[in-house]
Every structure is written in structure tokens, then in C-alpha cells.
Structure 1
């Protein structure tokens, strides 16, 4: 997230605290839906700022969010999203790259700790960072599962509670089950080593990925 988007995010986070409890649920659904759009993070915050302004103006008049927006929450969001410039292909690539690198360095830290512990309890402590085929599949499964859950939440923000309960549970159960099956089977059967390097080298690589992810995310 770039500097302008961060500043506007901070401002919006402060202002939304004044939104009443009666308006909070619908406002939250609108923002969740907005997060799944093709708008840049800065434009999302611009839209969010306008929504907060509308809601707070309505509260001052004694009107709730339903009266202010006429109950057409999804339609209003779609109209706003349609009227604002979307992410360019470059924006999408940079955002995807930044998100992927974030996931990789976080999982890399976990893998470093795991390898360090295994080296300490091993009789032959060579302090090597070992990456197997199963580890790679585990990383990919976790990234896919996280992205699917976020995508699913944003796309079902305006569904009725009954539809959410049935549809969401079924889809999430299938995806999580498949992901866990891949993780479990990969760690049990796919033990072919594809990387074996000193732990300190792995730590430097993870640090490098972290720095690159910060640079990319600050430009998105």
C-alpha cells in the first residue's frame, strides 16, 4: 500500500468509529464487497471515505443507512466501482507479486524455525535448511486456501444469512479439505529434497524476500 493510501486508510479508520452500531453491519458488508473489487487500494479508500461521509451526514439528520442508500447496497457499490478507473494490468501483477512474496517470507520464517528445531533435536545437527517437494506443495496449498477464503468472503458479503450458511460452509469445507489433504499427503509421501542449503543462507534469502515485498507493496 502506497503512502497516500496509508494516510487515507488511517483517516478512514478514525472516522468510521463514529458510525453507529445500527449502521455498522451494512457498512462493513459494503467495505468487504469493495475490497474484492478491481479498484486500487487508494481508490478503495476514496470510495470508503465517501461512504463514511454519506453515513455520518445521515446520522446527523437522524437517518439510518437504509434510508440514506435506499436499501440498494450492492447496486450502489457496483455503480461506484463501475464509475472509477480500475487497476491496470501492471497494478494487478504488482499486487499479486506483493501478496505472494508476503506469503512466501512468512512461510519462510516458519520453515526456518521448523528446520532450526529439527536440527537441534537431531543427532547429526548440520544446521541445514531442507525443502522437499511436500513442503512446496504445502506452501502452494496454504496460499491458495488463504486467497480463496478472502475471495469467497468478499463475493458473498451481501448474501442472506441462510444462503451464506449453506453455500459458504460447503465451499469452504471442500477447499479446506482438499488443501489439508495435499498438505498431509505431501508431508508424508513427497519427501524428495529439492533444496538443501545452510540455515544462515536461507535466513538471508527470506530477509531478501521480505525487503522486496515491502518495496513492491509500498508502490501498489
Structure 2
């Protein structure tokens, strides 16, 4: 059975969504990032970068377990392992990878930095907040325009690109972002959030959060 090290984070939630969509059995081991468990020596031996998620597939090369970090890489690995959630033609694949990289290098970092400077920085820095507020609104406007042209972010079919985008939009409250000015994103989000596999995945990762 696949083992997933994760927590209730934007990056983590992507992987159980993919696993649920692909009907792959898995177990989750919670890594409580609020307590810094991702920086403990035992976990660093699994992922020296000290981040979640990490996937361990027992069906690796020559029968050895295969360990992989970085949610984007994990999604591609699972899609290629099952030949699902990723187009077979190179043009369709390129569109999926384009959207994934747009999120991982644009939307995700912008929302993450905005949330950090709003909520976690030791002091309020108006310039930094304004900078990442503007950038968050800009990249979301790009996604809004893309969703005006197609049902899903990379074309007519649900793919790992949609799963990638869903992570940070699921945790958008951290950055103080809403969908008031992005109706296409709002429609897309409700459609994705309503998928049975997505609901099951969210239930599993939210159950990892200990009571306050």
C-alpha cells in the first residue's frame, strides 16, 4: 500500500485527491508542521528538504520502495503510473504542465507570501503586503481568464492541473483571498470541491489536525 506523509496543508491535500481519484489504496502518516515535526531527524531522513508531502510507493524499481517529494512531481508520477488524469498526446500534456507550473511558480508562492506577511510576520510590512496582494490578484485574474475558455484549467477534462490549483485555493483564507471578483474560479472551485474523491481526500487530511 502507498504511504503518504502529509498534513492539512495546500500542498499535502493534492496527493490524497489524486490517490482517491485514481482509486489507489493508501495510508497517511500525519506530520504535524505546526509542531515542526517535518524538521525532525527521522523525517529529514525521508525528505532532506523538510517539507510535506512525501509519497512512498512500495512498487518501486527492482521491487524496492520508491520515495518522492514535491506535490507536483508526485501528481505527475501517479498520473503516469496509472495513465489517468493526464492526456496522452504531447500537446494536451504540455497544457497540463503549463497550468501546473503556473500555479507552482505563480499562484501558490503569491498566496503563501501574502498569508505569511499578513498573519505570521513578526511585524506588519505594508509594502510586502501590498506587493503580494497585487500579485495574488494578478495571477488569479490570469486563471479567471483561462477558465472563461474551458471547463477545467487545462482543457475540457479534469486533470492533475486542476488538482494542483485546488490546493492553495482550498486554503485561500490564509491569504485573505475570496472569489468575489472571480466568478469563473468560483464556479470551477465548487465543481471540483463537489467531486466525491475530493470530498473524501479533504476529510482524510482534515482529520490529521489535532484538536486545539
TM-score using structure 1 length: 0.30
Higher relative contact order (CA 8 A, sep 6+): 1
Indicate the structure with greater helix content: 1
Who wins on radius of gyration, i.e. which is larger? Answer: 1
TM-score using structure 2 length: 0.31
